[in-house]
């Protein structure tokens, strides 16, 4: 009997990866190789369970399941018992234990872990996008972005890009410098996707002087002079007017506050972002 082939049926109302991992981990504890795993994912009807049981009752079988829909798992347990097929519920003991500790009712919605994984990978993708298309590195990314930030140096373009990326948004940013013409791709992007960033010139002087000190350079360099800053701001203002894009003054705002304003602007104009918000 021990050498008779064993069929392990993995039944799930989602993908069934959890059931497979647990079943493989369990059977590895035995010196037994005559087994076959059959996976039945996305079970959402009793007829599917009945069909599976008709097959399972023909041979030595065991059912391992991860189902959260109460009606279906009750049906599976009852029908398996009628055919004398061992049936193991992996999820319920853990879910019920957590429910008691958390004093909360489980959602009983299939596939939630997969949705969480997808959300995580979207965030990673958005962060990689922000890094790849930071500081105008590759203008080809402008058309792929959900949001394009433009502004002169030290107007929080990169911090804002990264903050918004953590909200699953693909953000590219472009520095505006009088001596360098903006990429032509910027003028091919819908203006509703572009946000201009500006700041108070006196505040910017302080920021740039601190930046120069951090780099070991003299604070009186042209980069931090009022003449240069006014020139840059005027140039940037002209570009933003040509693009007809909204403009945010970030001089006295934290990154979180500026990001909130940006998202509110997009909501007001009804522009659909990829994260659905």
Whether the predicted pLDDT of 168 surpasses 70? yes
The pLDDT assigned to 36 comes to: 92
Confidence bin at 268 (pLDDT 50/70/90): confident
The pLDDT assigned to 112 comes to: 59
Whether the predicted pLDDT of 130 surpasses 90? yes
The pLDDT assigned to 105 comes to: 75
For residue 276, being part of any structural domain is answered with: no
The C-alpha atoms of residue 79 and residue 236 are separated, in whole angstroms, by: 71
The pLDDT assigned to 277 comes to: 45
CB 262: neighbour CB atoms within 10 A? 21
Same domain, 164 and 234: yes
At 89-122, the pLDDT tens digits run: 988 887 778 788 888 776 666 665 556 567 778 8
Q: Work out how many domains the chain is built from and give that number.
A: 2
> Annotated binding residues for ADP, as ranges?
151-158
Predicted TM-score (pTM) of the model is 0.60
Nearest to 268 by CA among 246, 244, 251, 253: 246
CATH code of the domain covering residue 135? 3.40.50
Quote the domain boundaries for residue 185.
119-269
- Checking 129-135 for CB contacts under 8 A at 24+ apart, the result is 129/165, 129/170, 129/171, 129/172, 130/161, 130/162, 130/164, 130/165, 130/170, 130/171, 130/172, 133/171, 133/172, 133/173, 134/158, 134/161, 134/172, 134/173, 135/173, 135/174, 135/175
Same domain, 142 and 68: no
The pLDDT assigned to 171 comes to: 96
For residue 96, being part of any structural domain is answered with: yes
> Annotated binding residues, as ranges?
151-158
CB 59: neighbour CB atoms within 10 A? 11
Same domain, 127 and 264: yes
Same domain, 101 and 128: no
Same domain, 128 and 97: no
Confidence bin at 276 (pLDDT 50/70/90): very low
Same domain, 213 and 169: yes
The pLDDT assigned to 2 comes to: 58
Same domain, 178 and 245: yes
For residue 274, being part of any structural domain is answered with: no
Same domain, 15 and 32: yes
pLDDT, greater one: 270 or 27 = 27
Same domain, 90 and 196: no
234: Cα within 13 Å, side-chain hemisphere: 7
For residue 275, being part of any structural domain is answered with: no
Residue at a domain's end among 63, 89, 110:
110
Whether the predicted pLDDT of 180 surpasses 60? yes
CATH code of the domain covering residue 103? 3.40.50.2300
At 48-93, the pLDDT tens digits run: 999 999 999 999 999 999 888 889 989 999 999 999 999 999 888 8
Same domain, 90 and 124: no
The pLDDT assigned to 211 comes to: 84
Nearest to 136 by CA among 169, 181, 183: 183
Confidence bin at 159 (pLDDT 50/70/90): very high
Residue at a domain's end among 91, 110, 129:
110
- Once rounded to an integer, what is the mean pLDDT over residues 210-239? 89
Residue at a domain's end among 85, 110, 135:
110
């Amino acid at each position: 009997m021990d050498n008779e082939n064993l069929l392990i049926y993995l039944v799930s109302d989602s993908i069934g990866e959890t059931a497979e991992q647990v079943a493989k981990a369990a059977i590895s504890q035995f010196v037994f190789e005559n087994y076959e795993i059959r996976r039945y994912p996305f079970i959402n009807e009793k007829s599917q369970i009945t069909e599976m049981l008709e097959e399972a009752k023909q041979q030595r079988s065991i059912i391992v399941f991860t189902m959260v829909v109460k009606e279906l798992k009750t049906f599976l347990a009852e029908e398996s018992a009628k055919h004398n097929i061992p049936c193991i519920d992996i999820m319920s003991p853990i879910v019920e234990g957590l429910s008691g500790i958390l004093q909360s009712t489980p959602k009983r919605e299939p596939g939630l872990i997969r949705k969480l994984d997808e959300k995580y990978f979207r965030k990673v993708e958005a962060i990689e996008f922000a890094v790849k298309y930071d500081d105008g590195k590759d203008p080809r990314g402008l058309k792929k972005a959900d949001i394009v930030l433009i502004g002169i140096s030290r107007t929080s373009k990169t911090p804002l890009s990264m903050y918004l990326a953590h909200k699953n948004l693909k953000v590219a940013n472009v520095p505006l410098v009088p001596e360098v013409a903006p990429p032509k791709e910027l003028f091919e992007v819908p203006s509703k996707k572009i946000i201009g960033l500006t700041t108070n010139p006196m505040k910017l002087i302080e920021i740039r002087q601190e930046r120069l000190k951090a780099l070991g350079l003299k604070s009186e360099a042209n980069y931090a002079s009022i003449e240069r800053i006014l020139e840059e701001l005027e140039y940037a203002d002209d570009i933003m007017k040509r693009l007809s894009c909204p403009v945010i003054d970030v001089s006295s705002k934290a990154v979180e506050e500026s990001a909130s304003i940006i998202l509110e602007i997009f909501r007001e104009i009804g522009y659909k972002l990829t994260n659905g918000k």
